[in-house]
Amino acid sequence: MGQYSEEIKRRRTFAIISHPDAGKTTLTEKLLLFGGAIHVAGAVKSNKIKKTATSDWMEIEKQRGISVATSVMAFDYNDHKINILDTPGHQDFAEDTFRTLTAVDSVIIVIDIAKGVEAQTRKLMEVCRMRKTPVIVFVNKMDRDGKDPFDLLDEIEEELHINVRPLSWPIDMGQRFKGVYNIYEQKLNLYTPSKQYVTENVEFKDINSPELETYIDSMQAEKLRQDIELIEGVYPEFDIDTYLRGDIAPVFFGSALNNFGVKELLDCFINIAPFPRPIQAEERVVDPEEENFTGFIFKIHANMDPNHRSCIAFVKVCSGRFERNANYKHVRFGKQMRFSSPTAFMAQKKEVVDEAFAGDIIGLPDTGNFKIGDTLTSGEELHFKGLPSFSPEMFKYIENADPMKAKQLNKGIEQLMDEGVAQLFTNQFNGRKIIGTVGQLQFEVIQYRLLHEYGAQCKWEPISLYKACWIESDNAEALENFKKRKSQYMALDKEGRDVYLADSNYVLTMAQHDFPDIKFHFTSEF
Ligand code: G4P
């Protein structure tokens, strides 16, 4: 057992993900209330970008500013240290969310009982599946009418491609919602609609006892008994290891707004959710209990102040103990760096910290030294991987609109790409630069920031592209042949890897068919 073992085992680092409006912000806030990190509801500002503001990017950035404070919310609960990593709700920032998922050990997915599985949930779950991240599902808004819970479970299994296991079960819903039976703790949890009030549980081991009818009416009691019987018959016993492997997702029901079912979720979460796990680096597996510090940058947040190009680089501590003012190696630069004011994020306050352990997130003030994926160590030559870029969905040529500022433009583009704002591809045929994003917003963000932070002006020109995919082959000749045949559509990404730019789904399908030796990848990591 390592000397930091105790610290590590009490940490739970996770993200809450959902389609916008399912209740992520509300749930986060209720969790913070339990942790005593805040004292009144409404204290957590949603970093949700309001729908009306999508064309006003200044407004968006202002709102996004809030998200620095809420990027990581840490609090103590029952001897555990909880680190919640916030993710932007707006789908144009999905790439941010994907990267945040590389820094968590588990995930809670919030689903709206009425809406079921939505687009954003599907996409985010794909990333969790890829990484085998354990997930817990929280079905929210039980105080409203929605889908039949069994149907919803089927939908989750089908759409999210994960097996589920209910650990609580609702007693009716909407106006008739009476509460949930907590299968995990064998307790009856009765509902009192109140936004601030934490409900009491009734120990209830045998739901076949007629005592049940003293709490809920006989029809609801009968229905609950039948439902639980069905659940026990249809779904496998809950098994922690299966959950930890990412093969089964326990499901809870509740109403975040009414603070209902949240404590049960949290209590089960701290019991079953994983503490920091070993991480595969390129060279070897890194165990969190190792004495030497290692960590990687998963997110860079640009400062709001355009006059100082300062950022905060978010580091996930993977092993050992991080200490303020100690020397650490910036592996990509091969140089030593010291950090005099690393910050931690306790609830909503940012404060300078002296130490951090595996599972923690620290913010390092940065002036352009870091890019996403950089590794810091006590001295070892180590590279963490697992920060894939996804094939963007929108593409535009970026052109210089001010010939006097070409240098500034190039520098600006390079740094913004290092920050992970978007992806850059250089067409090998005509040398033009193409920016790929997941949403229209990024183009506005880039243009604005190039002007205000770098004094450079860019203009966008349309390009009709369907997808950019990374290609490789074991057959060097076939690869060369493909590149020659598709020379007009070949580009290099920022790291110099071969990327094929397909202009339509049809063309891509044909290429996959015609060139069986070529592997087409839709994420940068393969
Ligand atoms: P998000 O972060 O996932 O986008 O969702 P958020 O928590 O902001 O919740 C979206 C809306 O759903 C909010 O209403 C919130 O109050 C509501 N909500 C959350 N949980 C529940 C619940 O358990 N039951 C019900 N009935 N509603 C819930 P809003 O009107 O959009 O915002 P607000 O003005 O209430 O803040």
* Tens digits of residue pLDDT in 51-65: 443 344 455 555 554
In three-state secondary structure terms, 373 is coil
Instruction: Please determine, for residue 382, whether its predicted confidence score (pLDDT) is greater than 50.
Output: yes
Q: Is 459 annotated as a binding residue?
A: no
Distance between CA atoms of 274 and 105, rounded to whole angstroms?
6
CB 380 within 8 A of CB 284: no
**Residue minimizing CA distance to atom 34 of ligand 1:** 42
pLDDT-based confidence at residue 510 (cuts at 50, 70, 90): very high
Q: What is the pLDDT of residue 70?
A: 54
Model pLDDT, residue 47 = 47
Domain boundaries, the chain: 5-174+236-272, 279-377, 394-521
**Residue from 281, 311, 283 nearest 418 by CA:** 311
Rounded CA-CA distance 156/150 in Å is 10
What is the mean predicted confidence (pLDDT) over 365-381?
90
- Give me 225's structure tokens: 């008994």
Mean pLDDT of 467-489: 95
In tens, the pLDDT along 66-121 reads 444 457 888 889 999 999 998 876 666 777 788 888 899 999 999 999 999 998 88
Atom of ligand 1 nearest to the CA of 256: 23
Task: Give me 55's structure tokens.
Answer: 């064309």
| Residue of minimum CA distance from atom 26 in ligand 1 | 141
Is 172 annotated in a binding site? The answer is no
* Residues near ligand 1 (Cβ within 6 A): 18, 20-26, 46, 48, 89, 140-141, 143-144, 255-258
Residue 22 Cα: closest atom of ligand 1: 3
Question: What average pLDDT does this structure show over 321-349?
Answer: 87
- Residue whose CA is closest, atom 20 of ligand 1? 257
Domain with residues 5-174+236-272, CATH architecture: 3-Layer(aba) Sandwich (3.40)
Mutate to test the pocket of ligand 1, among 257, 259, 260 (most ligand atoms within 8 A of CB): 257
Query: Is residue 299 a known part of a binding site?
Result: no
Residue 22 is assigned to a ligand binding site: yes
- What totals of helices (H) and strands (E) does the chain contain, helices first? 13, 31
pLDDT of residue 205: 77
Distance from C-alpha of 166 to C-alpha of 308, rounded to nearest angstrom: 50
3-state DSSP assignment of residue 117: coil
Q: How far apart are CA 86 and CA 16, in angstroms?
A: 7
| 140 marked as part of a ligand binding site | yes
Share of the chain above pLDDT 70, in %: 87
Q: How far apart are CA 459 and CA 473, in angstroms?
A: 36
Q: What count of Cα atoms within 13 Å lies in the side-chain half-sphere of residue 487?
A: 6
Task: Evaluate whether 364 touches 312 at the Cβ level (below 8 Å).
Answer: yes
Strands 394-400 and 467-472: unpaired
Token pair belonging to 20: 């916008």
For ligand 1, atom 24, name the residue with the nearest CA. 141
Question: Any binding-site annotation on 24?
Answer: yes
Average pLDDT over residues 423-447: 90
Residue 88, annotated as binding a ligand: yes
The full DSSP string for 443-509 is HHHHHHHHHHHH---EEEEE---SEEEEEE-S-HHHHHHHHHHTGGGEEEETTS-EEEEESSHHHHH
Structure-block tokens of residue 65: 């500013």
Greatest Cα pair distance, the chain, in angstroms, is 83
Q: What is the pLDDT of residues 274-287, one digit of tens each?
A: 999 999 899 999 99
DSSP designation for 104: -
**Ligand 1 atom nearest residue 144's Cα:** 26
If you take atom 10 of ligand 1, which residue's CA is the nearest one? 21
Pocket test for ligand 1, best of 21, 252, 265 (most atoms within 8 A of CB): 21
Residue-by-residue DSSP string for 379-409: S----B---PPBPPSEEEEEEES-GGGHHHH
pLDDT, mean over the chain:
87
Interatomic CA distance for residues 372 and 366, integer angstroms: 12
183, 166 Cβ separation under 8 angstroms? yes
Mutate to test the pocket of ligand 1, among 16, 25, 26 (most ligand atoms within 8 A of CB): 26
**3-state DSSP call for residue 95?**
helix
What is the CATH architecture of 394-521? 2-Layer Sandwich (3.30)
Helix 218-234 vs helix 149-160: crossing angle, to nearest 10: 30
Which of the following CATH numbers is that of domain 279-377: 3.40.50.970, 3.40.50.150, 3.40.50.300, 3.40.47.10? Answer: 3.40.50.300
> How far does residue 27's CA lie from ligand 1's centre (Å)?
9
* Greater model confidence, 456 or 198: 456
Q: Whole-angstrom Cα distance, residue 374 to residue 364? A: 13
Answer yes or no: is 90 a known binding residue.
yes
Residue 255 Cα, ligand 1 centroid: separation in angstroms? Answer: 10
- With tokens 């001295």, the residue in question is 379
- Stated as kind and residue range, the H or E segment containing 230 is helix 218-234
Instruction: Give the model confidence (pLDDT) of 16-28 as tens digits.
Output: 999 888 999 889 8
Question: Tokens standing for 404?
Answer: 């006097």
Return the residue whose CA atom lies nearest to atom 25 of ligand 1.
141
On whether the CB atoms of residues 1 and 230 are closer than 8 A, the answer is: no
The annotation status of 87 as a binding-site residue, yes or no, is yes
> How far is the CA of 407 from the CAs of 96, 414, 459, in angstroms?
27, 11, 15
Assess whether pLDDT exceeds 60 at residue 333.
yes
Strand 201-203 relative to strand 187-190, pairing: antiparallel
Task: Quote the ligand 1 centre to 142 CA distance (angstroms).
Answer: 12
**Structure pTM?**
0.84
> Rounded to the nearest whole angstrom, what is the distance from the C-alpha of residue 23 to the centroid of ligand 1?
5
Whether residue 38 is predicted with pLDDT greater than 80 in this model: the reply is no
**pLDDT tens digits, one per residue of 388-434:** 677 888 999 999 999 999 999 999 999 888 888 889 999 999 999 99
Task: Tell me if 5-174+236-272 shares its fold with 279-377.
Answer: yes
The closest residue, in CA terms, to atom 11 on ligand 1 is 21
Task: Give the CA radius of gyration of the chain.
Answer: 25
| Sheet strands (E) in 273-340 | 279-280, 285-286, 294-302, 311-319, 321-323, 327-330, 335-338
Distance CA 27, CA 348 (A): 15
Dist. CA 112 → ligand 1 center (Å): 10
214 CA distance to ligand 1 centroid (A)? 32
Burial 477-505 (b: 16+ CB within 10 A, else e): eebeebbeebeebbbebbeeebbbbbeee
